[in-house]
Amino acid sequence: MDMDYLARKGLVLLGCGKMGSAMLKGWLDDGLPPASVWVVDPDPSDWLRRTGVHINADLPAQPAIALIAVKPQMMGDALPALAAMGGGDTVFLSVAAGIPIASFERVLGAGTPLIRAMPNTPAAVGRGITAIVGNRHAGAAQMDLAEALLRAVGQVVRLDDEAQMDAVTGVSGSGPAYVFHLIETLAAAGEAEGLSPDLAMQLAKATVAGAGALAEAADETPTQLRVNVTSPNGTTQAALEVLMDEDAGFPALLRRAVKASADRSRELANG
Protein backbone atom coordinates (compact mmCIF):
# COMPACT_ATOMS: atom_id res chain seq x y z
CA MET A 1 0.00 0.00 0.00
CA ASP A 2 1.31 3.46 -0.88
CA MET A 3 1.23 4.80 2.67
CA ASP A 4 2.91 8.08 1.73
CA TYR A 5 0.23 8.88 -0.86
CA LEU A 6 -2.59 7.96 1.52
CA ALA A 7 -1.01 9.86 4.41
CA ARG A 8 -0.61 12.96 2.25
CA LYS A 9 -4.06 12.94 0.63
CA GLY A 10 -6.06 11.35 3.43
CA LEU A 11 -8.63 8.58 3.65
CA VAL A 12 -12.30 9.06 4.56
CA LEU A 13 -14.23 6.16 6.10
CA LEU A 14 -18.00 6.59 6.00
CA GLY A 15 -19.32 4.19 8.63
CA CYS A 16 -17.23 2.35 11.20
CA GLY A 17 -19.24 -0.67 12.29
CA LYS A 18 -17.82 -4.19 12.34
CA MET A 19 -16.53 -4.17 8.77
CA GLY A 20 -15.25 -0.59 8.90
CA SER A 21 -13.52 -1.23 12.23
CA ALA A 22 -11.87 -4.41 10.93
CA MET A 23 -10.49 -2.56 7.92
CA LEU A 24 -9.36 0.46 9.94
CA LYS A 25 -7.53 -1.78 12.40
CA GLY A 26 -5.75 -3.50 9.51
CA TRP A 27 -4.66 -0.18 7.99
CA LEU A 28 -3.39 1.21 11.28
CA ASP A 29 -1.52 -2.05 11.96
CA ASP A 30 0.04 -1.70 8.49
CA GLY A 31 1.37 1.74 9.41
CA LEU A 32 -1.24 4.18 8.11
CA PRO A 33 -0.97 7.29 10.37
CA PRO A 34 -4.17 7.87 12.36
CA ALA A 35 -3.97 11.59 11.55
CA SER A 36 -4.53 10.80 7.84
CA VAL A 37 -7.88 9.08 8.49
CA TRP A 38 -11.27 10.81 8.82
CA VAL A 39 -14.16 8.70 10.10
CA VAL A 40 -17.80 9.72 9.77
CA ASP A 41 -19.96 7.68 12.15
CA PRO A 42 -23.00 8.72 14.23
CA ASP A 43 -22.11 6.42 17.14
CA PRO A 44 -18.31 6.08 17.46
CA SER A 45 -17.14 3.13 19.57
CA ASP A 46 -14.78 3.50 22.49
CA TRP A 47 -12.15 1.65 20.45
CA LEU A 48 -12.52 4.14 17.58
CA ARG A 49 -12.10 7.08 19.96
CA ARG A 50 -8.81 5.62 21.17
CA THR A 51 -7.28 5.22 17.69
CA GLY A 52 -6.38 8.88 17.20
CA VAL A 53 -8.21 9.25 13.88
CA HIS A 54 -10.37 12.28 13.09
CA ILE A 55 -13.99 11.54 14.08
CA ASN A 56 -16.90 13.53 12.60
CA ALA A 57 -14.55 16.42 11.80
CA ASP A 58 -14.33 18.63 8.71
CA LEU A 59 -13.31 16.42 5.80
CA PRO A 60 -10.45 16.96 3.33
CA ALA A 61 -11.69 18.30 0.00
CA GLN A 62 -10.14 15.60 -2.21
CA PRO A 63 -8.93 12.59 -0.20
CA ALA A 64 -7.25 9.68 -1.98
CA ILE A 65 -10.04 7.28 -1.00
CA ALA A 66 -13.56 7.64 0.33
CA LEU A 67 -14.58 4.22 1.61
CA ILE A 68 -18.32 3.69 2.06
CA ALA A 69 -19.04 1.15 4.79
CA VAL A 70 -22.53 2.09 5.99
CA LYS A 71 -25.46 -0.31 5.84
CA PRO A 72 -27.41 -0.09 2.55
CA GLN A 73 -30.51 1.28 4.29
CA MET A 74 -28.45 4.17 5.71
CA MET A 75 -26.95 5.11 2.35
CA GLY A 76 -29.56 7.70 1.38
CA ASP A 77 -28.82 9.75 4.49
CA ALA A 78 -25.05 9.28 4.61
CA LEU A 79 -23.81 9.51 1.02
CA PRO A 80 -24.79 13.14 0.21
CA ALA A 81 -22.18 14.28 2.76
CA LEU A 82 -19.50 13.08 0.34
CA ALA A 83 -21.12 14.26 -2.90
CA ALA A 84 -18.81 17.28 -3.20
CA MET A 85 -15.86 14.89 -3.61
CA GLY A 86 -17.39 13.32 -6.73
CA GLY A 87 -16.06 13.89 -10.22
CA GLY A 88 -12.47 14.44 -9.11
CA ASP A 89 -9.46 12.34 -8.19
CA THR A 90 -11.04 10.80 -5.08
CA VAL A 91 -11.74 7.09 -5.52
CA PHE A 92 -15.00 5.93 -3.97
CA LEU A 93 -14.80 2.36 -2.69
CA SER A 94 -18.07 0.81 -1.53
CA VAL A 95 -18.43 -2.30 0.61
CA ALA A 96 -22.22 -1.85 0.90
CA ALA A 97 -24.01 -5.02 -0.14
CA GLY A 98 -26.45 -4.96 -3.03
CA ILE A 99 -25.87 -1.37 -4.22
CA PRO A 100 -24.69 -1.21 -7.85
CA ILE A 101 -22.14 1.23 -9.22
CA ALA A 102 -24.86 3.06 -11.18
CA SER A 103 -26.58 4.06 -7.93
CA PHE A 104 -23.42 5.79 -6.72
CA GLU A 105 -22.89 7.45 -10.11
CA ARG A 106 -26.32 9.05 -9.84
CA VAL A 107 -25.34 10.75 -6.57
CA LEU A 108 -21.63 11.37 -7.15
CA GLY A 109 -21.57 11.94 -10.91
CA ALA A 110 -20.81 9.60 -13.80
CA GLY A 111 -17.22 10.87 -14.01
CA THR A 112 -16.36 9.66 -10.50
CA PRO A 113 -13.90 6.75 -10.08
CA LEU A 114 -16.00 4.07 -8.35
CA ILE A 115 -15.06 0.62 -7.14
CA ARG A 116 -17.60 -1.81 -5.75
CA ALA A 117 -16.40 -4.47 -3.30
CA MET A 118 -18.03 -7.49 -1.68
CA PRO A 119 -16.16 -8.53 1.47
CA ASN A 120 -17.34 -11.15 3.95
CA THR A 121 -17.46 -11.42 7.73
CA PRO A 122 -14.21 -13.38 8.29
CA ALA A 123 -12.60 -10.01 7.52
CA ALA A 124 -13.10 -9.41 11.26
CA VAL A 125 -10.23 -11.84 11.93
CA GLY A 126 -8.18 -10.98 8.82
CA ARG A 127 -9.42 -14.06 6.93
CA GLY A 128 -11.94 -12.48 4.59
CA ILE A 129 -12.11 -12.62 0.83
CA THR A 130 -13.28 -9.58 -1.13
CA ALA A 131 -14.28 -9.31 -4.79
CA ILE A 132 -13.85 -5.93 -6.50
CA VAL A 133 -14.92 -4.38 -9.78
CA GLY A 134 -14.51 -0.79 -10.98
CA ASN A 135 -16.33 1.55 -13.32
CA ARG A 136 -14.66 2.90 -16.46
CA HIS A 137 -13.11 5.82 -14.53
CA ALA A 138 -11.30 3.55 -12.06
CA GLY A 139 -7.83 3.13 -13.55
CA ALA A 140 -5.20 0.48 -12.88
CA ALA A 141 -3.45 2.46 -10.14
CA GLN A 142 -6.76 3.13 -8.38
CA MET A 143 -7.74 -0.54 -8.53
CA ASP A 144 -4.32 -1.43 -7.13
CA LEU A 145 -4.83 1.02 -4.26
CA ALA A 146 -8.27 -0.40 -3.46
CA GLU A 147 -6.89 -3.94 -3.53
CA ALA A 148 -4.04 -2.97 -1.21
CA LEU A 149 -6.48 -1.44 1.27
CA LEU A 150 -8.75 -4.49 1.22
CA ARG A 151 -5.85 -6.93 1.61
CA ALA A 152 -5.65 -5.63 5.19
CA VAL A 153 -8.58 -7.97 5.98
CA GLY A 154 -7.83 -10.95 3.71
CA GLN A 155 -7.65 -12.04 0.09
CA VAL A 156 -8.86 -9.94 -2.86
CA VAL A 157 -10.09 -11.09 -6.27
CA ARG A 158 -11.03 -8.96 -9.28
CA LEU A 159 -14.15 -9.53 -11.36
CA ASP A 160 -14.47 -9.08 -15.11
CA ASP A 161 -18.00 -7.70 -14.89
CA GLU A 162 -20.23 -6.24 -12.19
CA ALA A 163 -22.92 -8.81 -13.04
CA GLN A 164 -20.68 -11.45 -11.41
CA MET A 165 -21.17 -9.72 -8.05
CA ASP A 166 -24.51 -11.48 -7.52
CA ALA A 167 -22.86 -14.90 -7.80
CA VAL A 168 -20.04 -13.75 -5.51
CA THR A 169 -22.70 -12.71 -2.99
CA GLY A 170 -24.17 -16.20 -3.13
CA VAL A 171 -20.82 -17.95 -2.66
CA SER A 172 -18.56 -15.87 -0.43
CA GLY A 173 -20.69 -12.92 0.69
CA SER A 174 -23.46 -15.00 2.23
CA GLY A 175 -21.33 -18.14 2.44
CA PRO A 176 -20.00 -17.74 6.00
CA ALA A 177 -23.57 -18.09 7.27
CA TYR A 178 -23.85 -21.44 5.48
CA VAL A 179 -20.72 -22.62 7.26
CA PHE A 180 -21.97 -21.34 10.63
CA HIS A 181 -25.17 -23.32 10.05
CA LEU A 182 -23.10 -26.38 9.15
CA ILE A 183 -21.35 -26.06 12.52
CA GLU A 184 -24.71 -25.72 14.28
CA THR A 185 -26.21 -28.77 12.61
CA LEU A 186 -23.05 -30.88 12.88
CA ALA A 187 -22.96 -30.22 16.63
CA ALA A 188 -26.67 -31.02 16.94
CA ALA A 189 -26.11 -34.30 15.11
CA GLY A 190 -23.30 -35.12 17.54
CA GLU A 191 -25.64 -34.48 20.45
CA ALA A 192 -28.18 -36.82 18.88
CA GLU A 193 -25.50 -39.53 18.92
CA GLY A 194 -24.85 -39.07 22.63
CA LEU A 195 -22.27 -36.28 23.00
CA SER A 196 -22.68 -33.42 25.45
CA PRO A 197 -23.64 -30.08 23.84
CA ASP A 198 -20.30 -28.43 24.73
CA LEU A 199 -18.20 -31.33 23.44
CA ALA A 200 -20.26 -31.64 20.25
CA MET A 201 -19.85 -27.91 19.56
CA GLN A 202 -16.10 -27.98 20.26
CA LEU A 203 -15.67 -30.91 17.86
CA ALA A 204 -17.81 -29.26 15.17
CA LYS A 205 -16.05 -25.87 15.34
CA ALA A 206 -12.55 -27.37 15.29
CA THR A 207 -13.41 -29.78 12.50
CA VAL A 208 -14.82 -27.11 10.19
CA ALA A 209 -12.02 -24.63 10.97
CA GLY A 210 -9.33 -27.26 10.57
CA ALA A 211 -10.73 -28.65 7.33
CA GLY A 212 -10.96 -25.14 5.88
CA ALA A 213 -7.37 -24.37 6.84
CA LEU A 214 -6.20 -27.67 5.33
CA ALA A 215 -8.15 -27.01 2.11
CA GLU A 216 -6.37 -23.64 1.73
CA ALA A 217 -2.91 -24.91 2.68
CA ALA A 218 -2.82 -28.24 0.82
CA ASP A 219 -1.57 -28.70 -2.73
CA GLU A 220 -4.35 -31.21 -3.40
CA THR A 221 -7.82 -30.11 -4.49
CA PRO A 222 -10.73 -30.40 -2.04
CA THR A 223 -11.93 -33.33 -4.17
CA GLN A 224 -8.63 -35.15 -3.63
CA LEU A 225 -8.61 -34.31 0.08
CA ARG A 226 -12.07 -35.86 0.34
CA VAL A 227 -10.91 -39.00 -1.47
CA ASN A 228 -7.85 -39.22 0.80
CA VAL A 229 -9.96 -39.57 3.95
CA THR A 230 -12.62 -41.87 2.47
CA SER A 231 -11.78 -45.53 3.00
CA PRO A 232 -13.82 -47.99 0.91
CA ASN A 233 -16.89 -49.12 2.84
CA GLY A 234 -15.74 -47.11 5.85
CA THR A 235 -17.41 -44.62 8.15
CA THR A 236 -16.73 -41.55 5.98
CA GLN A 237 -18.08 -43.25 2.88
CA ALA A 238 -21.27 -44.10 4.77
CA ALA A 239 -21.75 -40.41 5.60
CA LEU A 240 -20.82 -39.17 2.13
CA GLU A 241 -23.38 -41.46 0.49
CA VAL A 242 -25.97 -39.33 2.31
CA LEU A 243 -24.32 -35.93 1.76
CA MET A 244 -23.38 -36.48 -1.90
CA ASP A 245 -26.82 -37.68 -3.00
CA GLU A 246 -27.54 -35.67 -6.16
CA ASP A 247 -31.19 -35.09 -5.28
CA ALA A 248 -31.25 -34.79 -1.48
CA GLY A 249 -27.65 -34.01 -0.50
CA PHE A 250 -25.25 -31.09 -0.65
CA PRO A 251 -25.09 -30.80 -4.49
CA ALA A 252 -28.76 -29.92 -4.93
CA LEU A 253 -29.09 -28.10 -1.61
CA LEU A 254 -26.14 -25.75 -2.13
CA ARG A 255 -27.08 -25.04 -5.75
CA ARG A 256 -30.51 -23.92 -4.50
CA ALA A 257 -29.04 -21.92 -1.61
CA VAL A 258 -26.48 -20.05 -3.70
CA LYS A 259 -29.07 -19.36 -6.41
CA ALA A 260 -31.51 -17.99 -3.82
CA SER A 261 -28.86 -15.63 -2.46
CA ALA A 262 -27.77 -14.50 -5.93
CA ASP A 263 -31.38 -13.99 -7.03
CA ARG A 264 -32.06 -11.86 -3.94
CA SER A 265 -28.93 -9.84 -4.67
CA ARG A 266 -30.24 -9.12 -8.17
CA GLU A 267 -33.62 -8.06 -6.75
CA LEU A 268 -32.00 -5.67 -4.29
CA ALA A 269 -29.81 -4.17 -7.02
CA ASN A 270 -32.83 -3.56 -9.21
CA GLY A 271 -34.69 -1.79 -6.40
213-245 pLDDT tens trace: 999 999 999 999 999 999 999 999 999 999 999
| Residues 6 or more apart in contact with residue 99 via CB below 8 angstroms | 72, 75, 116, 269
pLDDT band at residue 1 under the 50/70/90 scheme:
low
Following DSSP, what letter does each residue of 140-192 receive, concatenated?
Answer: HHHHHHHHHHHGGGEEEEE-S-GGGHHHHIIIIISHHHHHHHHHHHHHHHHHH
SS3 category, 91: strand
The pTM assigned to this predicted structure is: 0.91
Tens digit of each residue's pLDDT (9 = 90 or more) over 18-65: 999 999 999 999 889 999 999 999 999 999 999 999 999 999 999 999
All domains in the chain, ordered by first residue:
3-168 (3.40.50.720), 175-269 (1.10.3730.10)
- pLDDT of 271 reads 67
pLDDT band at residue 195 under the 50/70/90 scheme:
very high
For the chain, percent helix, then strand, then coil, each to nearest 5?
60, 15, 30
Helical axes 175-192 vs 197-217, angle rounded to 10°: 140
Nearest to 151 by CA among 32, 33, 10: 32
Q: What is the Cα–Cα distance from 161 to 174, expressed in whole angstroms?
A: 19
Q: What is the Cα–Cα distance from 11 to 150, expressed in whole angstroms?
A: 13
